[in-house]
Structures are given as structure tokens and as C-alpha cells.
Amino acid sequence: MFLIFQDVLFEIHLDFLNQSGIKKDLGSVNNKLKLFGLKVLHSISSSSSANTLQQKKTRETRFIREIEEMLYIIGLGLGDERDITLRGLEAVKKCQKLYIESYTSLLSFGISKDGISTLEKLYGKPLTVADREMVEEKADDMLLEAREFDVAFLVVGDPFGATTHSDLVVRAKKLEVEVKVIYNASVMNAVGVCGLQLYRYGETVSLPFFTETWRPDSFYEKIQRNRGLGLHTLCLLDIRVKEPSLESLCRGKKQYEPPSFMTIGVAIDQLLEVEQLRGESAYNEDTLCVGFARLGSENQMVVAGSMKQLRTVDFGQPLHCLTIVGKTHPVEEEMLDFYRN
């Protein structure tokens, strides 16, 4: 952190403070120091007429960023540990505590114990796995930590992609914790790889696992509408991780179902079942789709074909997602041809 005060350059080396352990105690005097710093900045700003309001604001923001403890919400991308950005890794190295969210979108490096240790090796520090329970029930503990020292919350994909972490940001802001988001690829943009243009997508739908008694089909109208407009539809497929079993809920003791991920085959079965019930010809088994598995990983799989065709393809390990194709342009067609079964 440095302050330029007229002709004198004051430098406060946060690195040095960190190493010497002084920074640990800074938390408590943080606000005083901040106010002092801002006061100095203001007196500089007002003494110099060359500064625009924009420049003054930027300088202030930068100053607060340097001094303030942060909650970094960092996107990890889609494939494996090498999909973090340099900016993300830099932030991870700065943080004293690392959490990784495990409940919304899991991937090869997130699912297994090995996956976590690969990450820990890369980061040089331990990771705390934050499952649904923890994020929902204990978020405030994590946020209180982020008032004392830098904390990272790692998210597979992008922090505001298929699953948003708005809740966490809202809570953080209420507790006056500074938040910095580090972007990455999300399934929402990576599906672009098949050649269907992202700006030709309509509203995205989520397909939930049907149970015997619960078969919601509100996605049907959305797909119908998109197709009516010639737009593509991205279908996000259900992920069930650490769901309490019905039986355990009845017994009042938490036990979890094994994790399950909807395959493209199951998704197509459910889609066709709903079409048969509704009978409004939103799509049928000959409708062109693109199936994606493990987007971003070394063995990602992208196959284009009719629902009937894709239903029989073995897409292998999760995660899967599916695009129902709308009206295509010639270049989109040419690209899809490379992925046809």
C-alpha cells in the first residue's frame, strides 16, 4: 500500500507487516487506519485540481482494497485444478483460509478425496469443503473470519454462472465484508464450443429428477417458447448431492442419499414423457440436440444428434448437460456436423 502525499511517497509494506505478524493485529485498528488513509487521500485530492472525480474515486477504492480484509469468491473453471486463472491463484496464495463449495456443481477434481489433495498441493494450504449445510447454516462464521483476514471461497465454474452465490454476497455486504469476484468459465458460456451461438439462446431451463410423486414440468413452456422463436435452449440437469433421505427426515436423524447426477439419457426420457403428456409438439424424438459431458476436462464429449440418437449414446461420467437446438445459421450447421454421431 502506498500513499502519495504531495511530493512525499509514504509506503506501508503490507508484505512486511504480514511477515512480521503485525498485520494480524491490524484487523482491530483497520477502521481507524482506513479513515486516516482516506483523510490523507482527500487532502491530497482537494489540493490538486488536476484530479477528476473519477480518478479520486479510483484511488480511494484502490486504497480501501489494499488495506481491507477480503472475501474472494473465485471461479475455478470447469476441468481440473489447472483451470484456475493466474489472478485466482494469486488471491488463493494471499488468503489465510480456503473454502471450496462442493454441493452445486462437482467435477472430477472436486468429487474425490484425491481431487481435494491435488488442489491443496497446488495452493500450498489446506482446503475446507463447504457442503450445502455449511454454506446455508454457517456462512456467517466464514464471513466473520473474512473481517479478520483474507478468506477465499472457491467455486467450480464461475461464481455467478449456473449456480449463483448472490446469497453469500448479500450476507457479506450486510456484514460490511469487502467481496472480490474472480471470474472464470461457466457451463453457461462453455456450451458455445459446439458452434451454436450464445446470443441465439433463449431462457435456460433446469430439469429436476422426477420422482414417483413429483414430476414438475414448467420447463415445457419455456422450451416451447424458445423453439417458437427459433432459439436454442440450454437444459441444466439435476445434481443431487448430500440430500437428506426421506426415511432419515422421518426419523429426525440426518442421513444422506448417495450423490446422483442426471444423465443425458434420463433427461431425454423425461423430456419425451412430458411431451407425450402435453402433446403440444414443442419437440419430439427427432428434434436436434447437442449433448455435453465433462465440459472443459481432457475427455470432454460433445455429440449432436436427434433426441432418439442421443438417448442411446453412453456419455460416461458426469456432469452432463443438453442443448435443444433452435433454428440454425449455416456456420452453426457446419460446426454441428463435426459433432454428429
Residues that bind its own copies (CB under 8 A): 53-54, 58, 61-62, 75, 77-87, 89-90, 158-162, 164, 166-167, 169-170, 173, 181, 183-186, 188-190, 192-193, 195, 197-206, 225, 229, 231, 236, 295-296, 298-299, 314, 316, 331-332, 334-335, 338
CB of 202 to its own copies, least distance (A): 6
CB of 16 to its own copies, least distance (A): 23
* Closer of 172 and 274 to its own copies (Cβ): 172
CB of 33 to its own copies, least distance (A): 21
Burial classification of residue 214, based on how many CB atoms lie within 10 Å of its CB (0-12 exposed, 13-18 middle, 19 or more buried): exposed
By C-beta, is 54 or 213 nearer to its own copies? 54
Q: Give the shortest CB-83-to-its own copies separation in angstroms.
A: 5
Residue 125, classed as helix, strand or coil, is: coil
Helices (H), 104-218: 108-111, 113-123, 132-137, 139-148, 166-174, 187-190
H-type alpha helices, 155-213: 166-174, 187-190
Q: How do beta strands 70-75 and 151-155 pair?
A: parallel
- The residue among 99 and 201 lying less far from its own copies, judged by its C-beta, is 201
Which grid coordinates are listed for 287? 428434434
Residue 4 CB, nearest approach to its own copies (Å): 17
Minimum CB distance to its own copies smaller for 198 or for 246: 198
Q: Give the residue with the Cβ less far from its own copies, 256 or 339.
A: 339
Rg (CA), the chain: 25
In angstroms, the Cα distances linking 13 to 19, 34, 67, 87, 196 are: 10, 15, 11, 21, 49
Least distance (Å) from its own copies to the CB of residue 331? 5
> Going by C-beta distance under 8 Å and a sequence separation of 6 or more, which residues neighbour residue 145?
97, 151
Q: Nearest-CA neighbor of 67 among 140, 20, 17, 19?
A: 17
- The amino acid present at 122, given as its one-letter code, is L
Position of cell 473519477? 54
**CB of 252: closest distance to its own copies in angstroms?**
30
